[in-house]
Amino acid sequence: MAKDAFARRLGIELIEMKEGYARATMKVTPELLNGAGVTHGSAVFGLADLVFAAASNSHGPVALGLNVNIHYLKATTSGALLTGIAREENQTRKTGLYRLEVTDEKGDLVALAEGLAYRPGSGK
């Protein structure tokens, strides 16, 4: 995760990572707003994607995202502190299914997503 230049650019900080789980935060800055003055969907997605990558790669073998499905539920603005959490829901020899949540500083759900990861080199 230390090599993830895009996550660094967004200001994402990985707080916790253990097998099948990851948590990170991102402070919304004016540069992360869209034309309507709310947090750009790609910034929210970037936070969800980073925790997805961390949780799915926590088992050792490289995991690559096959699909991510996201629902934006609440708009946020500059100054918001967003937290992304990924939890593994299911793991097979080659795939992993993850629930991704992005919340604001009040604990309100900002986005809910599901990610499917593929582990091409996994012998599990």
Q: Which residue's entry shows tokens 């980073």?
A: 50
Residue 107 domain-assigned? yes
Residue 89 domain-assigned? yes
Rounded Cα distance between 124 and 121, Å, is 9
For residue range 26-47, what is the model confidence (pLDDT) as tens digits? 999 999 999 999 999 999 999 9
For residue range 84-108, what is the model confidence (pLDDT) as tens digits? 999 999 999 899 999 999 999 999 9
Rounded Cα distance between 7 and 46, Å, is 7
Q: Which of 44-53, 54-63, 69-78, 99-108 has the lowest mean pLDDT?
A: 54-63
pLDDT at 2 over 80: no
Residue 124 domain-assigned? no
pLDDT at 53 over 80: yes
Q: What tokens does 72 get?
A: 């934006």
Q: Residue 43 sits in which domain range?
A: 5-118
Rounded Cα distance between 65 and 48, Å, is 12
Query: Which sign, positive or negative, has the C-alpha torsion 120, 12, 77, 105?
Result: positive
Residue 93 domain-assigned? yes
CATH number at residue 81: 3.10.129.10
pLDDT at 122 over 70: no
